Chain A
Amino acid sequence: MSLSAPANIELKDIAFSYGRIRALQGVSLVLGSGATGLLGPNGAGKSTLLRILLGFLVPEHGQGQVLGYDIRTQQPEIRRRVGYMPEDDCFLPGMDAVTFTSYFGELSGMPRKEAMKRAHEVLFYVGLGEARYRLLETYSAGMKQRLKLAQALVHDPKLLFLDEPTSNLDPQGRREILELMIDIASKRDIHVVISSHILSDIETVCGRVIILNKGRVAAQGLLADLRETHFNLFELKLKGEREGFLGKLEAAGCRVEETEDQVLRVFMPTDLDKRTIFRLAAEEKVQVRHFLQSRTSLEDLFAQTVGVEG
């Protein structure tokens, strides 16, 4: 069942259900090196996808490989080579960071002495060198987050899954974790998959995104390509009765959102001319008081693709 190509992750037509709830359906992906952001609203299937990639769950349908190993039959081989940083706080009480990190290195299959040596190295790398002998119960939220990253890195994985790596962190802690993620992602031989709700984090770290919605891949590709090819974004302020104008915009294939300060954000398909906006405004006798072509952020792309408020 070879799917060809030396990609890190290849999935073909993956489906999975929790009872009657279809969590994933027809998911096909090919991921190479670098950092990939996994986006989607709650219930989109992000965590289910990560769990299938880790071998926690076996898909009902479809086939796939992670690092060349079959996700159905070679789960131990995958887990040996993959690092996982879960979203929740995870630690073992009564332990210090060195023991904790080397313990999980050993469970990955590293020899005991090498796991211990490597634990010291990665703890220094994530900035916990001075605190490595402190009991984990005394760690702050930011330190626990870095510890989770250390245990995910201890066995030098080829592929790193980070689930909401910056959640519950203060701005300083978030910056520090982002810096580490950028550094790791810059290594050509470590592929990073980041699942996050914080779109700006994904924009900062990832060059490529996968947007899941209702268990399907709604969009995937290089961030730059997705921004360019799908739509243009314009910001408008109007005066006058705008219902008819908005109706005509939507009929023309635009998606319109209104921000809290009453700015209309119009996502316009690239095949439409921006002068259409002025033409429709004139037809509906609406004054355009403000017009700005905006750079589409990942948030905009996400909102456009998934159809949720940005």
Chain B
Amino acid sequence: MTIREKGYHHWDGQFLERRHPWWPITRLGIRLTFKRKFFKFIFSSSLLPAVVFLAGIYISERLEDFRGMARIESLLLNISAKYFGAYLTADFLLFMAVIILVFCAAGLVADDLKHNTLQLYFARPLRKRDYLLGKASVVFFFLFLLTLVPGLLLVIFKLIFSGSFRLLRENPWLPLAVLAYSVLFTLFLTAYALLLSSLSRNGRAVSLLIFGVYLFSDMLFNILYGIFHSPYLGLLSMRTNLKLLAVPLFGLKPPLGLPWGYSAGLLAAVVALAAVVLVKKVKGVSVIR
């Protein structure tokens, strides 16, 4: 008995010459991430700091109406470039970014390795850089929604609430600083997550690694700093390194007085390492028979 329910028909359409052949990979990655349990709740929660900082901007423009809250932190009342830097370097934001990486990035490469799908990708007219860009863009999408979009919206809302361009006159490079920090922050975390994702075929193990390395780097710094009191131990902490990146962009006080260049070099090295490992690990041919 035949299993065919219909005969074979040829397709008479035309192939597209896509400018961005990686886009279907990104679109599917985003769609599958949103389908994951609890992700929508987690992602909504991660936007909480943006709402708090937005409220801060509103209050700063309506001080007269909020006299009862006059004792709130001076940062909230004085909206400068540092205020936006404070949003982008908030500990909670980084914590939520790492949680989002667990959801959206852990399985990006690991699942393809586990389920042997790389050979299906590369049996298509797809280059390695298209595949990697498609996967990385999934992470870019979520992290930009967490950093760049709220960062720029906060600037816009400040202009709207104040009814003047004073903020931009005093800090003309502010939108660029928000853009630059968001790009650097996202680039590092994407490289970090994809690097770990390519090192294992087990998505759960990668999830643990993504969260574990972030936590462990901070714990190690705290323990060693408690013993040796050397500020350079801050370079062990992912959180401190990412904060140091914001120092030149927003004029923030450097944590532990460390020069930001060291952190920039360290994070760039991780990105370069990730690129090398990914190029080696991602290939259509994995088995030699």
Interface residue? A126 (CB, 8 A):
yes
Chain A residue contacts of B126, Cβ below 8 A: 79, 107
Q: Is the CB of A103 within 8 A of B28?
A: yes
Q: Which listed segment binds B: A179-187, A262-270, A301-309?
A: A179-187
Interface residue count on the B side (C-beta < 8 Å) = 43
Tell me the complex Cα distance, A153–B7, Å. 13
**Of residues 41 to 92 in A, which have CB atoms within 8 Å of B's CB atoms?**
42-43, 46-47, 51, 54, 56-57, 75-77, 79-80, 82-84, 86, 88-92
Is chain B's interface secondary structure helix, strand, loop, or mixed overall?
loop
Q: Is the CB of B32 within 8 A of A95?
A: yes
Chain B residue contacts of A23, Cβ below 8 A: 288
Q: Is the CB of A156 within 8 A of B125?
A: no
Option from A56, A80, A183 in Cβ contact (under 8 Å) with B122: A56
Chain B residue contacts of A108, Cβ below 8 A: 15, 124-125
Interface residue? B78 (CB, 8 A):
no
Interface string of A155-196 (1 = CB under 8 A from B): 110000000000000000000100110011001010000000
Tell me the complex Cα distance, A263–B287, Å. 39
> Closest chain B residue to A54 by CB distance?
B123
Interface residue? A111 (CB, 8 A):
yes
Interface string of A114-138 (1 = CB under 8 A from B): 1000100110111101000000000
- Known contacts being A109-B18, A111-B13, A111-B16, is A92 close to B117, with CB within 8 Å? yes
Interface residue? B25 (CB, 8 A):
yes
List 9 extra interface pairs beyond A151-B120, A176-B3, CB under 8 A. Answer: A51-B284, A79-B124, A88-B116, A104-B120, A110-B13, A127-B3, A153-B8, A179-B4, A183-B4
The 6 A-B pairs at the shortest CB distance, nearest first, are namely: A127-B3, A109-B15, A76-B125, A156-B11, A84-B123, A124-B6
Please give the residue numbers on chain A whose beta carbons come within 8 Å of chain B beta carbons, in ascending order. Answer: 18, 23, 42-43, 46-47, 51, 54, 56-57, 75-77, 79-80, 82-84, 86, 88-95, 99, 103-104, 106-112, 114, 118, 121-122, 124-127, 129, 146, 151, 153, 155-156, 176, 179-180, 183-184, 187, 189
Interface CB pairs A-B, < 8 A, 12: A51-B285, A89-B116, A93-B115, A94-B32, A106-B24, A107-B24, A109-B17, A121-B6, A151-B120, A176-B3, A179-B2, A183-B4
